[in-house]
Amino acid sequence: MTNALRRCLRSASEFFRLPRGAKGARRKDARGLPPNDVGADPALREAVGWLCRAQDQLASRDGGVARHYSLLKGWSTSYPETTGYIVPTMLACARALNQDDLRQRARRMLDWLVSIQFPEGGFQAGPIGAGPKVPTIFNTGQILMGLAAGVREFGEPRYREAMVRAADWLVNAQDPDGAWRRFPSPFTTAGDRTYDTHVAWGLLEAARIEPSESYADAALANVRWALRHQRENGWFDKCCLTDPSQPLPHTLGYALRGVVEAYRFFKDNSLLEGARRTADGLLGAIDREGFLPGRLDAGWQGTVSWSCLTGTVQTAICWLMLYEDTKEARYRDAAFAANQYVDGR
């Protein structure tokens, strides 16, 4: 029996053992992209519906949002980090779609997040129940965004108290050069992380509510530190969960968003220039159909054949923000192409 035949039989055997839903998903993937774009409104409603199911049907039943859904095992337990930045998404969608139930869902997420905060102000990494259960910088920064959005929306003192404790903890954990090296996630590779500018964004959201100079100063110090690790072509060193030589657009998108948000907060043109360098590098990596490779090297060349959809839409958001700031249509057009590609997936 040839190796090719063995692989074919193994693939057929694996497919046969899949649940019906997983088989359907495999068949749909094999057909490729649909001929027509579904459109932004249907895609938004479907995405919001999925998030609602992720809250209602998650294994831990605690008010958070599931880390993932598996076609083999179903819904996972809740994930504090992503629940944190799903809160402002839900609140924005509640306004855009005129659905108050989404607003109440965000409140349930916030109540759960407040209940799991460590006394010193930090939040754990990984899904709920994962160990070791220790406070981590990145996850706390993401949850800080949700807490800040909760304060703006609901004005409840307990949300403000939780927000201040989280922000204070981040400021006190920062090194003098602006980096965060203590309290790393136990689930990622150790070392400096330029994508922590996404944590700096969380501090900026807190600073908009509590105009403490320490929050804004700490955020700017981190963004300045990250930009010292940006190359002339916009590529960031130290910017991946596992392999900094070929980072995901997911973590590059984190880094870029933090710089864009810092520009919008401080109105410092050097920050805009830094953001545009990375945004322009990513422009060179996307094709006409909106495909952005799932890993990129220092020359902005794709190193894999697959796409990271999360990183694609993160990049699209940044391009749209830069279009608003610069009025350059190339950012808008690339964002539209990226979103259409993701709609089709």
Q: What are the domain boundaries of the chain?
A: 232-345
Total residues found in the chain within this entry: 345
Q: pLDDT by residue (tens digit) across 42-59?
A: 889 999 999 999 999 999
CB 197 within 8 A of CB 223: yes
Tokens of 69: 């859904």
Q: pLDDT by residue (tens digit) across 205-256?
A: 999 999 988 999 999 999 999 999 999 999 999 999 999 999 999 999 999 9
Under the banding of pLDDT at 50, 70 and 90, the label for residue 9 is: low
Q: Give the rounded percent of residues in the chain with a pLDDT score beyond 70.
A: 94
Closest CA to 22 of 71, 76, 75: 71
Tokens of 80: 């504090």
CB 232 within 8 A of CB 172: no
Q: Which pLDDT score is estimated for 2?
A: 73
Counting other chains too, the contacts that 321-330 makes at CB distance below 8 Å and 24 or more residues apart are 321/260, 321/264, 322/260, 322/275, 322/276, 322/279, 325/260, 325/263, 325/264, 325/272, 326/272, 326/276, 330/283
Q: Tell me if the pTM is above 0.95.
A: no
CB 175 within 8 A of CB 126: no
Residue 18, pLDDT above cutoff 90: no
Instruction: Give the C-alpha distances (Å, rounded to integers) separating 165 from 161, 182, 222, 303.
Output: 6, 17, 19, 41
| Average pLDDT in the chain | 93
CA pair distance 205, 88, nearest whole angstrom: 11
Q: Which pLDDT score is estimated for 26?
A: 75
Contacts of 293 (CB under 8 A, 6+ apart): 249, 285, 301, 302, 303, 304, 305, 306, 307
Q: Which pLDDT score is estimated for 19?
A: 76
